[in-house]
Structure 1
Amino acid sequence: MANLRKAVFIDRDGVLNELVDRGEGFCLGGKPIRYTAPFTMQELRLKPDVQIALELIAKKGYQRILVTNQPDIKAGRINPTEFEQMMDLFRALPLNAVYVCKHLPNDGCNCRKPLPGMLLNARDEQFVDMHNSFMIGDLETDVQAGQAAGVRTIRLCNEMEPTNANHRVLNIMEAAKLLP
């Protein structure tokens, strides 16, 4: 059996890159939503210190595994070629693996967060020691996926937002510094 390695599972939108402010009247699937993932390369902006934070996580001995829900391709909001160009930017970061769920919320898959499918697939393929691993995300669905997979959770949010995460921080650099 391979040696298990600790890992940090990392959400994409809102953690590694900025969300896009669509304004007050924007709706997706009939629901009002102000902030979304970027739909084009022009909208894609990495957050400050992402590269440095990922390097610090690596220095602490963790694999860095991206786990991201990306339903906008299937929903027709992102051109598949442009999506791959955006993902190339993330693949150029110091990440060990990238897992993407392209399913819509009602597709019934087991990989879409808050379900733990992506994390469990990564566990099996990357030989992850879940007891010494973390999930970093900006939404409670990230926290729920991490908890369901058996890892400790760190949520990027302010102290006013309710969360069941083990820890709360404001950005990925704070999360990287928090890791043992």
Structure 2
Amino acid sequence: MKRALLIALAAVGLMAAEPAPIADRPLPDAAQEARAKALFADIRCVVCQHEAIADSPAMIAADMRRLVREEIATGRSDAEIKQDLVRRYGDFVLFKPPVRAGTWLLWFGPLAALLAVGAFLLLLARRRRVETEPLTAEEEARLADIVSGSAHRPDADAKPSDD
């Protein structure tokens, strides 16, 4: 009974695993295949997010490579292919998204943050230091009294060089 349950659990685990992607079939025309590979490097895998579809082992990346090759074979331009992928997956699918109102923060946010930090540091550096007022006669006398009584050191291990 336990053995049958273990076998059933193992079978379910094997069925849940993602199947291996279908092997890439390059285009017969070398120029078209070169175009496809150049596009693969510009398109981000939507699963891995930090890898181009050319390097990603994910099944969706294999599907995207197949889709790009099919569209190149039908005669679509690189811009049309990218536009179709952006329509499907959003601007994030491109490593270099277009500059428009929706992507301003992505393009100019780091520069704005750097300028804000620079302005803050500049303001901090220009801030005037508070001038200390000179000691009054009473404070001078008290200080002289404290200094004159320092001949007796409370710490027996203290040396003159510790002052």
TM-score (norm 2): 0.21
Q: Which protein is richer in strand relative to its size?
A: 1
TM-score (ref. length: structure 1): 0.20
Greater relative contact order, per chain length (Cα 8 Å cut-off, separation 6+): 1
Q: Greater Rg, structure 1 or structure 2?
A: 2
Higher helix share: 2
